[in-house]
Structure formats: C-alpha cells, structure tokens
Amino acid sequence: MSSGLVNIAYLVAASLFILGLKGLSHPRTAVRGNRLGALGMLLAIVITLVDQSIVSYEIIIAGVVIGGAIGAILAVRIQMTSMPELVALFNGFGGLASILVAGAALLEVPYLVGSGSVALNAQFSLSIFASGLIGAVTFWGSLVAFGKLQGKVNDGAVRYPADQLVKILLVIIALVFAYLMVVYPDSSTPYWLMVLVASVLGILFVIPIGGADMPVVVALLNSFSGLAAAATGFVLFNTVLIVAGTLVGASGIILTIIMCKAMNRSLTNVLFGTFTVTEGGPSADEVYGGKVKSTSAEEVAMLLEGAKRVCIVPGYGMAVAQAQHAVRELFDLLEGNGTVVEFGVHPVAGRMPGHMNVLLAEADIPYERLKDMDEINPSFKQIDVTIVIGANDVVNPVARTDPDSPIAGMPILDVDYSKTVVVIKRSLSPGFAGIPNPLFAADNALMLFGDGKKAVEDMVKSLKDELG
C-alpha cells in the first residue's frame, strides 16, 4: 500500500476521532460520538496491519478474540455503579500496553536508523523512555485507584515521612536511566529498570490521595494513558497513534481542570496536599441536636402530589443503592401528574466525572431534564420540592458560609433555597469531607432514612395511592 494512501486513511481516522470526541461533549450525541470514534479506530487498525505487512496474523487474531471476549464479558457483567472502577482499570491497561509495546520495540530495534544518525537514535530512546515512564505510572496508579474505589485499598490519604522528597528522588533516578538509554541504545536493561522505578512512583503517586479526590485522579490517569499512547506513537512512527493519544491526553487534562474547579481546589493541592477536616469546627451533636426532622414515604408522597416543580439531586448513595430505575418510575409518575421534574447534577457527584449522568442515562431519563450546577442553581428558589438521594458534600451549605471549612468555596448545588428539601440517606454520617451538613437540620429539610432504592420505591407506591 502506498504511503500516500496510508496517510489519507490515517487522516480520515484522525478526523473521526475528533468528531467522536466532539460528540461526547453532549449526552444526546454521545452514542454517535462513540460509534464515530470506534469506526476511526477500526480504520486505523486495519490500515496499520496492512501497511506494516504483518508476517503472522495468527497471534493478532488470537489477541482480538481473547480481548473481545473479555470486553464482552465485562460489558455484560459490570454494573453501571462499578463503572468508575472499570474506567480506572481501562486506564491502567492503556498504560500497560504502552510499556509492553515500547519494550518490544527496544528489543527488536536496538538502533532505529543506524549508527550514523545519533539524533534519531536519541529521539527513539527518549520516546521509549516517555512511553515506559508514563505507562508504568498510569498502570500502577490506576491499580491503586481501582483498589481505593473497590474498598480493597485504604481510601483515605495514606501519608509517609518525606513522601514528596521520595517521589522527587524516584523521578531523578528515572531520568538517570533515560540518560543511560540514550548512551547505550542497544541495551534494554536501563529501560526495564526505569519501568521498575516508575512502577513504584505510580503507586506512591496515588496512595496519598483520598477517596474524595478519586474523580480528579481518574480523569488525570485517563490523560496519562493518552500521553503514554502518544509517546508510543513516536516510538513506532505511527501518526494516527500520536494524534489519538494526544486527543485523549488533552481532553483528560481539560476534564481534570474542570473537576478541580468544581471542587474549588488546585491540581497541585489534590495531588500533593491533604484533604483534612479543620479542627475546631462544630460537632455533629451541635449541628443536628434536636433539629433533625424525620419523615416517611407517605408524607413525601403528599408533598409531591401538590408540587408543581420538583428537582432530584443524585449522589453516590443513589449509585450504591442502584436506585436509578426506581427514580425513573418516580419521574414518570410526577410527569403524568403535571409536575415539571428536573435533575440537578454536580460535576463531582459520584466516583468519576459524569457518573450520575451515566446512571440516569441508563434509566432512560430524558437528556434535556439533566441540568448542570450552573444551570439549575438560579432555579432552586422556585422549586417546590428537591429530593436529594445519597448526596452530601455537594449540597452542604457550609461551603458558602464557613471560610474555615475544608470545602470552603467549593461550588455546590443550592438545594437549601428550595421550599422543601427531602434528603434520602441511611444515616447522618458525613461525606468524604468528614463534616456535618447543616442542611439536614434546616427548617425546610426532611430526612427520609433508609436505602435509597427502597425509599424511592416506597415513595412511588405511596404516590400511586395518593393519585388513585
């Protein structure tokens, strides 16, 4: 196949990647965006296999079959509530692929262009270094993030003496191995030693980050996997891989910044700081003592029957309870009664960016009813009833009122401005920030204690009785 035809095919594939990424910017076009991206990747793979004149396709076909089977099983068996863990794992697989491909290239091609081209040999070695370094950090960091999300690894901030100094030292050691890779391009030993150092760095990079910051970490590791792929593209001199990796890396960085802004924190604070509770704040007894009003599903149903406008705010508790389908049934009932129902979605609600959007989309909630924080906040004063399902920190008014709070300045959903707020939670336990929420004791707030799914199902049953 001619180089011109290959380049045209790669250009088409890259264009499909860009169009697919643009489609992912809105829920209504997300499915089409995924299909366009998949089509672009299929085209890129086919052209690469043909152009590189692969001697044996048996191993490639076996890999496709095995990988496809694993993907199909995961797609069927993994619940939407476990999607953050799956995304973290996929990020890690991308990093591992970069490590192995770069290592294979190093073993197969000790000198890229011959002894006469020192500059290109150095470029080749540095590309392999970047691919291995970023890939190893991504792989092991993603495994730690997966463990934290699964609860198999301490989801708190695990700190150790001189932790930042240790990480700086590991980076310096990795750079020393990079130098050795350039000086001795025919030896693979410095590369694998560098990968070992980077693996330790990846673990130590994520271990100190608490569970509250996992949405940011997942987005950042997604960016890392893209950058590792782009570096691998330079190793293989594959244009489409460079483009695809760069797109993933850039979009991941942008998403990471959005997540940080939604938490009113800098990226450096997330990565190198500690999310701690400020000493001296009010205790739970001081905030809740004698002020919390418990309610029942029947009482909430009576409120909803006469409500003209209702907002539902999903949180991680809804994901854990898998209440999204019960929420859809409640939505249908209210809509049938002439009530306008909207969903207020906070950017960092859940365990990954867009977690709540994915769950609500699974339950076929109309896209136009999903409102982001900036869109819904001005409307809360006109909302009759707001139902908060398993959310805590993202609706805590302390963020607006207490400058000494660990969440001070964090943009929140202003649900406390609603005429009535119904909070569905198992208990008064704090969120990731570890602080009490005055909303639960507010004059206009009612607490419906229990499992999120059962609570909503009971509300649906009671509302059906009310409506006859």
Catalytic residues: 393
CA angle, residues 74, 75, 76, in degrees to nearest 5: 90
DSSP percent split of the chain into helix, strand, coil, nearest 5:
65, 5, 30
How many other CB atoms sit within 10 Å of the CB of residue 427?
A: 8
Question: What type of residue sits at position 337?
Answer: N
The closest alpha carbon to 41, from 252, 254, 229, 235, belongs to 229
Integer Cα distance of 285 and 165 in angstroms: 40
Q: How many residues does the chain have?
A: 468
* Residues paired with 343 in a beta bridge: 312, 370
Q: What distances in angstroms separate CA 189 from CA 15, 27, 65, one per listed residue?
A: 39, 47, 32
Is there a contact between 392 and 284 (Cβ–Cβ < 8 Å)? no
For residues 402 and 181, the answer to whether their CB atoms sit within 8 Å is: no
Nearest to 427 by CA among 408, 409, 405, 452: 452
**What tokens does 338 get?**
């002439």
DSSP letters of 5-17?
HHHHHHHHHHHHH
* CA–CA separation, 222 and 205 (whole Å): 15
Tokens representing 26 are: 């809105």
The helix (run of H) or strand (run of E) holding residue 277 is: none
- How far is 294 from 32, CA to CA, in rounded Å? 45
Q: 421: which residues sit within 8 A by CB, 6+ positions away?
A: 385, 386, 388, 415, 439, 442, 444, 445, 446
Closest by CA to 51, choosing from 91, 97, 87, 7, is 7
Max CA pair span of the chain: 87
CA distance 401 to 442: 14
